[in-house]
Amino acid sequence: MKMYKYFVTSICLFFSLSLISETTLIILGSGTPNPNPERYGSSYAVVVDDKAYIVDFGPGSVRRMAAMSKTWGGEFEQLELQNISIAFLTHIHSDHSAGLSDLILTPWVMGRSTELELFGPPGLQKMAEHITKAYEDDINYRLYGSQPANNKGYISIVEEIENDGSIYKDKNVEVIAFKNDHGDFENSFGFLFITKDKRILFSGDTGVSDNLMNYGENLDILVHEVYSSETFKNKTDDWQIYHNAHHTSSIDLGIIANKLKPKKLVLSHILFWGQQRNHFLMM
C-alpha cells in the first residue's frame, strides 16, 4: 500500500495555529452517529479575536464549549456560553445537529442577550422553530417567572443556504459555503473560513468531492471526515455501498491531502470500526 507523507492531527482537543496567530481551531467533537463515549458529536469552534464561530452542533457540543470556557477551568472567554451567538450547520443529520436545542436554550439561560444567528441548509429554519415551540412552556416560565431572563437570547435568526458562495462576513472572518457529495443527500455543505491569517476548510460529511477540491487551495487546515479502508472490508455489502457513496476512505483522503497539500490535516467523523487508532494513522 502506498504510504502518504502527511502529518495528521486527530487527537488533540485544540491547538493554536501559531504563537502569534489570531485564529484558533478548537475541536469540540469528532464523532459519528455511533455513541462512542470518547468522542462527542461533530462540532468545532473557530475563534478569532473575541468571537467564537461554531461549525456543527452534534450531541454534547454545548457541554464541550463550557468545558473549554474559563468558568469551567478552560482558557477561552469566547466559549463562555453567554458569548455563543453564531453557528453554521453542514447538514441536518442528527449527529451534526442534535445539540441545537441545547445551543438555543442553555446559552440564553446562562445570560445570552442577543439572538442566535444560524446558517445552514433548508430544514434548519423548521428545526429551530419546532424546538422553540416544543420548549414553549419552559421559555414562558423563565420569561415570566421569578428568575432573571431576557426576551432575546432564545430567539434564532436563520439563514438557509442552497448554493455555493459567501454566506457570512464580518471584521474577523468570511465564510464560504460549497456543496459536497454526501451520497444522495442534496443539501449537504462544506465551509471555507477565511480569516486575516488562516484558511480553514471543513469538508462536512462527504465522499470524494470534486467541488471541495475547487475550494481547497492554500489551506492552513483541512478538517476532513474519514473511514478506515482496512476495516471497511469487513462491512456487509449494503453498508459498503452506503459508505462508499456517502463518506471518504482513508486511502482516498490520503490522495486528497497530497493534492491539496494543506499545512495541517485534521481527521474528523472518524469511523475506525474496531481498528486501533495508531494503526489507522499509519495507514
Return the sign of the alpha-carbon dihedral for residues 140, 136, 28, 169: negative
- Quote the CA–CA distance of 264 and 269 in Å, as a whole number: 17
Chosen CATH of 8-282 out of 3.30.56.10, 1.10.8.60, 3.10.150.10, 3.60.15.10: 3.60.15.10
Beta-bridge mates of residue 57: 43
Query: pLDDT (tens digit, 0 to 9) for every residue of the chain, 283 residues total?
Result: 343 444 444 434 454 444 445 899 999 999 887 788 888 999 999 999 999 999 999 999 999 999 999 999 999 999 999 999 999 999 999 999 999 999 999 999 999 999 999 999 999 999 999 999 999 999 999 999 999 999 999 999 999 999 999 999 999 999 999 999 777 878 999 999 999 999 999 999 998 899 999 999 999 999 998 987 566 556 566 665 666 656 788 888 999 999 999 999 999 988 754 444 554 444 4
Question: Who's near 80: CB < 8 A, 6+ residues apart?
Answer: 69, 70, 71, 110
What is the value of pTM for the model shown?
0.87
Identify the helix (H) or strand (E) that includes residue 104. Answer: helix 100-109
Which grid coordinates belong to 267? 481527521
Distance of CA 231 to the CA centre of its chain: 25
Domain parsing of the chain, residue ranges: 8-282
Taking Cα atoms as reference points, which of 159, 188, 162, 182 lies closest to residue 91? 188
